[in-house]
Amino acid sequence: MKKFFPKALMLALVAMLSLSPVMAQKNQPDVFKIGFLSSLTGSLAGLAEGQRKSFLLSVEQVNAAGGLKMPWGNVKVETFIADDEAKLDVGVRRFREMLDKGAVAVTGGIWNPMSGALNEETKINPVIYLPGFVPAKDALLKGNPADAMYTPTFTPWSIGYITGKSIVKTLGKKTLFYVERADSWGTTIREGLEAACKDFGAVLVGKDAVNMGTTDYSATLSKAKASGADFLVNSLTGADGIALVKQAIDMGIDKQMDIFYCWISNTESKGFAPEVLAKLYAQTWFYYDVGGLVDKELVSSIKAYSDAYMKRWNEPPDNMGTACYVATQYIFQAVEKAGSFDPKQVAKVLATGTFNTVKGPASFRIDHQPIAKNVTFIMKGKGLSERKNPNDWYTVLESYGGEEVLPPLSVMKY
């Protein structure tokens, strides 16, 4: 036994030493792989392209600074980019392909139902998943979100709630006709809009639902015209939203009521003639020029990011594009704070940490939505004579934020 024990010990030590490089390689990877998945083709392609550009800028910036600061040294970031084609089966397949290639984090996405499907995938195959847009509310109800699935924005409920609140509090009107996209995006916005009507004394005098890809909105707009509302509230996005507004003005609706575009982007803004945009009120999660606001720290942060984006892409950053940028800010800061790429360890940091973003500091609520001072901006479109440059589309009227713009936790089943 005396001879056997030292020999056995020596063999065990040799085995451990021979395995240690493998263990080190597994636990201390020399690259961080992150995927971008969005609808780069189809009616939402313009929005997805803005996301792609912001995503790439965020990766380029962290790599230019030496990479992620991990306990074992700096780690460079590598990317995968894929098109989900706004089809659930395609999105799920390409999400899985990214994971097969070694992605430990994924962002992107512009089609609301996709987030629900990918959240379920994240439960099966743990990965850090922060969609770079507004995810489905159902994905964040109690018991539903995967451990490392968080949103940099909120759910569509808040879009509707802030729309209703701002129409009463900022714009001084009270009767609304709502055009609802016939999916979870449109219905959840309506839930928030109805909650705001109850809280602030507005009245939803009518609504109509339309499918994505509709080309003729005359029947819906005739109902709106007959409603006598103060505001036509449009929940459509991309090419659909542009078409609805243009047809509304062709029908003279703007002479009877104001038009509120409850979620607008640069893509849509560029799609309107100045005389049309001047007739719109709109809400956005991000606008590149908020110089009129009193929060100078916010103004400075947004300007620094916007200047970097314009230098890289020769255009101002977009609404949901910036959501991807902020999503990667959360991801990169969380993995550095965790000192690990393990989704479970990163999820713990996301649940408890405070993070710095281009829109200021934020922390996450129990339902995986962020609490932030500046959540959205309410804007008025500018006519040609008001513009300082071709991309000077809006005057920012107000900023809304705080936990009060999120659905009560009871609505999220907590």
pLDDT in tens, the chain (414 residues): 444 445 554 554 444 444 444 444 457 899 999 999 999 998 788 889 999 999 999 999 999 999 999 999 999 999 999 999 999 999 999 999 999 999 999 999 988 789 889 999 999 999 999 999 899 899 999 999 999 999 999 999 999 999 999 999 999 999 999 999 999 899 999 999 999 999 999 999 999 999 989 999 999 999 999 999 999 999 998 889 999 999 999 999 999 999 999 999 898 899 999 999 999 999 999 999 998 887 889 999 999 999 999 999 999 999 889 999 999 999 999 999 999 999 999 999 999 999 999 999 999 999 999 999 999 999 999 999 999 999 999 999 999 999 999 999 999 999
Q: Indicate if the alpha-carbon torsion angle 355, 360, 361, 367 is positive or negative.
A: negative
| CA 308 from centroid of its chain's CA atoms | 20
CA atoms 330, 317, 287, 235: torsion sign: negative
Annotation: CATH topology of 30-153+298-372: Rossmann fold (3.40.50)
Ranges in the chain annotated CATH 3.40.50.2300: 30-153+298-372, 156-284+375-405
Report in angstroms the alpha-carbon separations of 114 from 183, 186, 391. 12, 14, 31
> Model's pTM, two decimal places?
0.88
- Record the tokens describing residue 381, joined without a space: 């479109």
Token pair 């080309």 is at which residue? 215
Q: What superfamily in CATH does domain 156-284+375-405 come from?
A: Response regulator (3.40.50.2300)
